[in-house]
Amino acid sequence: MRKSLTLLAASTAFAAAAVGAAGAAGATSAAPSHSAAKPAAAPTVARAATAASAAKAGPGPFYWIVNVNSGKAVMPYNESKAVGELMVQRTKGNLGAQHWRILGSGTTRVLWNRNSHLCLLAPTNGTFLTQQYCNDTLGDSFGNRPKWQSSNYDAMWAGNPITWRSVFSGQCMDVYGAYTTDNTIVQQWPCHGLPNQQFQLQYVPGT
């Protein structure tokens, strides 16, 4: 299997804890325990030894979505184009899989991947973020799963730190455990605003 044993071992226990916390979606009063004290190991996905997906020509502009805590970019695992692929963070590079179009208007946006042509969606259960068809309505008759709310419109376009809150779940985009390692899972988690939930849009030159 292309997913590492680390991910498989961590996902069951971690997802169970996260589902239990889902009732607190959108809470901002305190940071969850996983951000205050790191677990023994971060759930990561082991990257296969495949050629990197070079950036491809296409309509822009495109942006890296960079985590403030780690300085790393959000992308589908291993530059995958597969529907349902997990989101991870990885060192920023000239990879089409790290390039995102920020669609929509105002602070409500849809995040479209340059390499896969899929969108970043909140899950219907659990915590791990994945890429799916942009019109996916599974468990969501209102079509809110692809929608993310930026915490500040001006800061978003200025490249300053913002949070992304799922319109569907009310939870925030979050790098698990505030880890800074490549291929750490990007998930949704009750909003607390710490640096592992803060992201910056960085313009991809030439797009």
What pLDDT, on a 0 to 100 scale, did the predictor assign at position 47?
52
Position 44 in a domain: no
User: Which residues of the chain fall below pLDDT 50?
Assistant: 1-40, 48-57
| pLDDT the model gives residue 164 | 98
**What pLDDT is stored for residue 60 in this prediction?**
80
The pLDDT value recorded for residue 52 is: 41
pLDDT of residue 139: 80
In a domain, 171, yes or no: yes
Residue at 45 is within a domain = no
DSSP 70-124: T--EEEEGGG---TTPBEEEE---SBGGG-EEEEEETTEEEEEETTT--EEE--S
Q: In this structure, is residue 147 part of a structural domain?
A: yes
Preceding peptide of 195 cis, ω within 30° = no
Q: CATH code at 174?
A: 2.80.10.50
Residue 193 sits in which domain range? 5-36+58-203
Q: Which residues contact 68 (CB under 8 A, 6 or more apart)?
A: 161, 195, 196, 198, 199, 200
CA nearest neighbour of 78 among 107, 109, 50: 50
pLDDT of residue 20: 38
Tell me if 10 is assigned to some domain: yes
Amino acid letter, 114: R
pLDDT for 66-100, tens place per residue? 999 999 999 999 999 999 999 999 999 999 999 99
Q: Is residue 192 part of a domain?
A: yes
Would the pTM count as exceeding 0.85?
A: no
Both structure tokens of 201: 């849009």
Structural domain contains residue 49: no
What token pair was written down for 182? 């490549």
Report the number of distinct structural domains present in the chain: 1
Alpha-carbon gap, residue 52 to 68, rounded angstroms: 24
Answer whether residue 164 is part of any domain: yes
End-to-end CA distance of the chain: 35
pLDDT, residue 115, reads 98
What's residue 48's pLDDT? 47
d(CA 176, CA 185): 6
